[in-house]
Amino acid sequence: MSTLVNYGGDEDLLPAGALYSNIKDSSIILSRSPRVDVYCPPRKKSRIHAPFVFRERVEQEKQCSIEVLPDECLFEIFKCLPGGQERSACACVSKRWLLLQCSLRRAEICSEKPTLSLKQDFTAIEEINSALGNEKQEFENDGYLTRCLEGNKATDMRLAAISVGTCSLGGLGNLLIRGSNSTRGVTNFGLSAIARGCPSLRVLSLWNVASISDEGLSEIANGCPLLEKLDLCECPSISDKVLLAIAEKCPNLTDISIESCSMIGNEGLQSIGAGCPNLQSVSIKDCPLVGDQGVCSLVSSASTVLKKINLEATNITDVSLAVIGHYGLVVTDLSLIGLQNVSERGFWALGTGVGLQMLKSLTVTSFQGVTDLALQALGYGCPNLKHLVLRRCSFFSDNGLNVFTKLAISLENLHLEECNRITQCGVLNALSNCGMKLKALALVKCTGVIDTVLGFTALPRCNSLRSLTIRSCPGFGSAGIAIVGKMCPNLQHVDLGGLCRATDSGLLSLLESCESELERVNLAGCINISDAVVLAMATLHGETLQLLNLDGCRKITDKSLAAVAHSCGSLVDLDVSTSAITDMGIAYLACAKQLNMQTLSLSGCSLLSDQSIPFLRNMGRSLAGLNIQHCNLISRNTVGLLEEQLWRCDILY
């Protein structure tokens, strides 16, 4: 019997030998204490049957679980966790613990503070107070993390996790929410969690979040006093109450953008103007309740700091433009789009208000009030204007454009789109007036710009122009292109997309007139040009050409690709979609060792076949994008092999 009791072999009940050195020293072999761990090897049958030990231990462990504590106790425990990593780890335990964690405000989290004895003097006390002050300064300067939630990823639970998890990583600075989960999307609860846990938030952007109301954003205002930028788009449940709270709690606000928020009106804008002394940028779009009262109050209150104003589809009238013209002392960018209640008087007041001396960029879209008189007033009142964009303004003519370009002594960029009363003569006069300063000219869908017999005895020169865009102007043809080429010999960027009347003669004249080197050329949709244009371009400007777009040029063949391969060593972007190239043209490109092309578009090239795949593979050392859509002679199997070999290249098929 003693031999059996003292047996200590490999098959013993306990892995480290017998429980007691002498069994007679113990009154019982297995204690009922929960500390006892019983080990039973699976290959031997247990000699002691003690199911009651396991059952009792499980019951005791269940009774001792921390989950039995009420939320109030767990809340106090979480307040005393030493650091952010510990809080994040606890938040990962369960949804309950996560929600308790995100209900804590940063100010409620306990931090260890040094205690002073009676023998310590006031110097030590001042040092500790200084240290606490530095800690507060560090808290105010954090917040460099950015989080973006889109679509189904935008949920309250993710916001709660961000609230807890970013505390120990530097703090949340930027939060962008685009859309929301259809079943469990973002609500006021999620924003409240961010407000409690992320006081360092500086940028908040909400797009298409219908479930957010005033309650959630008011929590942001109360908990995030450092907020600087607020972007609200398609938030129909948000009203002026939010802007009142922001104006009261967030004095550092510099940028506010409001779009398609039907419940925001004049009262909210008035409060922002009065409570945010650092406001520099305002954008209001499609808000029907916004009128003159709100805009005028905002502009006049922030007259010394407001630099950017964007007003689109609001109910303002000429009064608002007069106020902007008078109080916009430091405004540099002004955009006015679709303001149906503004007339010629408003634009005249905008220019003659003598307040827009610092204006550099002006964009006007869909206005009947832009007349010759209005342009003249803007020319007088905006001496530093450099960029002017006029879209769908059909009530000014060549006379107004001529006067404006004479008065706008700083104009560098002129963009005219769907301004149908402007003719070719007006354009050439503008080029003549701005000959020493204009750098970019764009004419888009201007039906009045057609080739005419000109009265110029000697064409003036516009040596400063570097970028020329004449796109989708059906009346503009080779004669106009040749004249512009002679007037502007220093072009670097040329965009003539959609000019069906452009032919080889006009383009060859422009290429020969260019004294500087072309870098970007877009001839998409010029269906009448041929290989002769590309050959001349490669010969004259091949060393500097970086982008060439020949999409839809059906007369372009392999000869053009051979010229490109031979002379255009700097080309990185080539588009020959819907052209007449064949596999031989791709072979020319593949054999050019000096080419480092990054983007190649061959969409709709019906003559390409599987034989071009090996050549495309050879070009794969530099290709980042390849478009071979609608190339019907290229099979799917060969494309699959190409995708495996060019795994770094984005292939469209």
What percent of the chain has pLDDT above 70? 77
Decide: 178 and 148 in contact? Cβ < 8 Å. yes
- Chain-centre distance of CA 367, in angstroms? 29
Mean pLDDT within 60-65 = 52
Token match 């989708």: residue? 472
Provide the terminal-to-terminal Cα distance of the chain, rounded to the nearest Å.
84
* Residues 6 or more apart in contact with residue 42 via CB below 8 angstroms: none
Size of the chain, expressed as the number of residues it contains? 653
Token match 């550099």: residue? 360
Is it the case that residue 129 has pLDDT exceeding 50? no
Is it the case that residue 90 has pLDDT exceeding 70? no
Hey, what amino acid is at 250?
C
Residue 171 has what pLDDT? 81
Is it the case that residue 141 has pLDDT exceeding 50? no
Is it the case that residue 312 has pLDDT exceeding 90? yes
Between residues 264 and 151, which one has the greater pLDDT?
A: 264
Considering only 12-21, 186-195, 511-520, which range has the smallest mean pLDDT? 12-21
CA distance 286 to 339: 10
Bridge partners for 309 per DSSP = 282, 334
C-alpha angle 300-302-306 in degrees, rounded to nearest 5:
115
Mean pLDDT within 328-333 = 96
Is it the case that residue 370 has pLDDT exceeding 80? yes
pLDDT band at 516 (very low <50, low <70, confident <90, very high): confident
Decide: 268 and 243 in contact? Cβ < 8 Å. yes
pLDDT band at 514 (very low <50, low <70, confident <90, very high): very high
* Closest to 102 (Cα-Cα) out of 147, 165, 155: 165
Residue 219's φ and ψ, nearest 5 degrees, are -65, -40
Neighbours of 5 (CB within 10 A): 12
Q: Is the dihedral of CA 268, 273, 275, 277 positive or negative?
A: positive
Is it the case that residue 120 has pLDDT exceeding 70? no
DSSP 363-401: EEES-S---HHHHHHHHHH-TT--EEEEES--S--HHHH
Token match 């004049």: residue? 266
pLDDT band at 77 (very low <50, low <70, confident <90, very high): low
CA distance 79 to 72: 11
Hey, what amino acid is at 364?
V
DSSP 307-340: -EEEEES----HHHHHHHHHH-TT--EEEEE--T
Is it the case that residue 416 has pLDDT exceeding 50? yes
Is it the case that residue 127 has pLDDT exceeding 80? no
Which two tokens mark 192? 């409240």
CA distance 16 to 149: 54
Give me the torsion for CA of 89, 95, 99, 102, rounded to 10°: 30
Q: Over the chain, what is the mean pLDDT?
A: 83
Mean pLDDT within 394-398 = 93
Instruction: Provide the 3-class DSSP secondary structure of residue 417.
Output: strand
CA distance 55 to 34: 11
pLDDT band at 590 (very low <50, low <70, confident <90, very high): very high
Residue 95 has what pLDDT? 63
Q: Superfamily for 521-653?
A: Ribonuclease Inhibitor (3.80.10.10)
Mean pLDDT within 239-249 = 95
Hey, what amino acid is at 473?
C
Provide the 8-state DSSP code for 13.
Answer: S
* Closest to 472 (Cα-Cα) out of 489, 454, 449: 449
Between residues 645 and 231, which one has the greater pLDDT?
A: 231
Decide: 468 and 502 in contact? Cβ < 8 Å. no
Is it the case that residue 22 has pLDDT exceeding 80? no
Residue 131 has what pLDDT? 33
Is it the case that residue 627 has pLDDT exceeding 90? yes
Is it the case that residue 530 has pLDDT exceeding 60? yes
CA distance 362 to 465: 20
Between residues 10 and 211, which one has the greater pLDDT?
A: 211
Is it the case that residue 1 has pLDDT exceeding 50? no
Is it the case that residue 289 has pLDDT exceeding 60? yes
Hey, what amino acid is at 470?
I
C-alpha angle 200-203-208 in degrees, rounded to nearest 5:
130
Give me the torsion for CA of 629, 632, 638, 642, rounded to 10°: -20
Residue 560's φ and ψ, nearest 5 degrees, are -65, -40
Is it the case that residue 441 has pLDDT exceeding 50? yes
Is it the case that residue 89 has pLDDT exceeding 50? yes
Which two tokens mark 482? 């040749």
pLDDT band at 531 (very low <50, low <70, confident <90, very high): very high
CA distance 504 to 495: 15
Residue 491 has what pLDDT? 96
pLDDT band at 459 (very low <50, low <70, confident <90, very high): confident
Residue 203 has what pLDDT? 96
Decide: 481 and 507 in contact? Cβ < 8 Å. yes
Q: Is the dihedral of CA 399, 400, 406, 411 positive or negative?
A: negative
Neighbours of 436 (CB within 10 A): 10
CA distance 365 to 397: 16
Residue 503 has what pLDDT? 94
What percent of the chain has pLDDT above 90? 63
Is it the case that residue 13 has pLDDT exceeding 50? no
* Closest to 530 (Cα-Cα) out of 560, 506, 500: 560
Residue 2 has what pLDDT? 45
* Residues 6 or more apart in contact with residue 512 via CB below 8 angstroms: 485, 536, 540
Provide the 8-state DSSP code for 434.
Answer: T
Stretch(es) of the chain classified as CATH 3.80.10.10 = 521-653
Q: How far is CA 470 from CA 17, 418, 575, in A?
A: 93, 12, 19
Model confidence pLDDT, tens digit, residues 209-228:
988 999 999 999 999 999 99
Is it the case that residue 40 has pLDDT exceeding 80? no
Instruction: Name the pTM for this structure.
Output: 0.79
Bridge partners for 417 per DSSP = 391, 444
